[in-house]
């Protein structure tokens, strides 16, 4: 049974900040958002977690292994180095969607994302060591079968991008609806999904669904471990096996 600890990281009052006193240069906002995400990725990754950029002002991280003080350190590091602060809300759930739902509720209870008085909230509970196991996290790493040959080396880049986006949009809704799982596009033709207890048949169905719905052919490697880093690396290796075997689904266990 999965037991996912999700931390929602939300930049405080970001919308207003980007337009006060005047709208800020877009290239600077992009640089700020990307570098803040890169730092969160390193801070969380330093302790075996995973971070997804999502909407950039709202980032979703998998933080099994990070306790309260690790969260405080991340929050303080951001506040010391950026012109904005971030609020963090942690929750544990039997499915990733449930954990993120609880984390979202907790943060919303503390105040609006655009409430100028709501700063640096840190709420929630983290998993106790005694409650952790090697089956807590399931990560599925999807990519598009031969994206380079079919798309990147053939089409106008935007048409390649549209196909990848359509495939992602379809997969994200399906995994959320059918499996309470969170799928994130991570660049190239890759989507990493934080899953509940999905079995091989479940992944076969997901791949079939996306191919039927939008014509994009996916394959997937899946890993399971105590931490996101552990599960994610196993998933990457399983995906390599898909490449070698020509299979659509490979589970690392």
Residue 103 lies near its own copies (rule: CB under 8 A) = yes
Which of 168, 193, 203, 242 is close enough to bind its own copies by CB under 8 A? Answer: 168
Are 228 and 137 spatial neighbours (Cβ–Cβ below 8 Å)?
yes
Tell me if residue 181 falls in helix, strand or coil.
coil
Instruction: Give dist(CA 228, CA 130) in Å, integer.
Output: 18
**Helical segments of the chain, H only:** 14-19, 26-45, 68-81, 96-110, 147, 157-179, 200-214, 228-245
Q: What is the DSSP letter of 24?
A: P
Query: Which one of the spans 123-131, 199-207, 228-236, 244-252 is the region binding its own copies (CB under 8 A)?
Result: 228-236
Nearest-approach distance from CB 61 to its own copies, in angstroms: 10
177 three-state secondary structure:
helix
What residues from 136 to 165 belong to the interface with its own copies (CB under 8 A)? 148, 152-162, 164-165
Token reading at 135? 């089956």
Give the interface segment with its own copies, choosing from 119-127, 128-136, 196-204, 232-240 (CB under 8 A): 232-240
The answer to the question of residue 113 lying near its own copies (CB under 8 A) is yes
Of 103-111, 127-135, 200-208, 245-253: span binding its own copies (CB under 8 A)? 103-111
46 touching its own copies, by CB under 8 A: yes
Computed from CA positions of residues 12, 14, 20, 25, in that sequence, does the dihedral angle turn out positive or negative?
positive
Parallel, antiparallel, or unpaired for β 122-124 and 50-52? unpaired
Q: How far is the CB of 135 from its own copies (least distance, A)?
A: 20
Shortest reach from residue 191's CB to its own copies, in Å = 12
Residue 56 contacts its own copies per CB under 8 A? yes
Is 110 a residue that touches its own copies (CB under 8 A)?
A: no
């Amino acid at each position: 049974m999965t037991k996912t600890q999700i931390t929602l990281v939300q930049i405080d009052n970001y919308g207003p900040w980007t337009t006060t006193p005047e709208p800020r240069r877009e290239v600077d906002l992009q640089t700020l958002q990307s570098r803040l995400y890169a730092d969160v990725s390193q801070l969380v990754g330093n302790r075996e977690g995973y971070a997804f950029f999502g909407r950039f002002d709202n980032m979703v991280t998998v933080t099994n292994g990070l306790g309260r003080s690790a969260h405080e350190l991340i929050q303080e590091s951001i506040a010391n180095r950026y012109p904005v602060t971030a609020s963090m809300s942690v929750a544990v759930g039997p499915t990733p969607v449930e954990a993120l739902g609880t984390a979202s509720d907790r943060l919303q209870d503390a105040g609006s994302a655009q409430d100028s008085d709501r700063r640096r909230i840190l709420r929630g509970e983290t998993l106790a060591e005694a409650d952790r196991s090697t089956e807590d996290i399931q990560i599925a790493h999807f990519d598009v079968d031969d994206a380079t040959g079919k798309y990147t080396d053939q089409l106008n880049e935007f048409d390649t991008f549209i196909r990848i986006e359509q495939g992602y949009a379809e997969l994200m809704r399906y995994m959320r609806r059918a499996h309470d799982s969170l799928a994130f596009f991570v660049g190239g033709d890759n989507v990493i999904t934080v899953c509940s207890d999905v079995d091989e048949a479940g992944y076969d169905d997901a791949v079939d669904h996306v191919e039927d719905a939008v014509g994009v052919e996916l394959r997937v490697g899946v890993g399971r471990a105590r931490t996101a880093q552990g599960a994610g690396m196993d998933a990457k290796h399983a995906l390599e096996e898909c490449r070698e075997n020509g299979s659509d689904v490979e589970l690392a266990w």
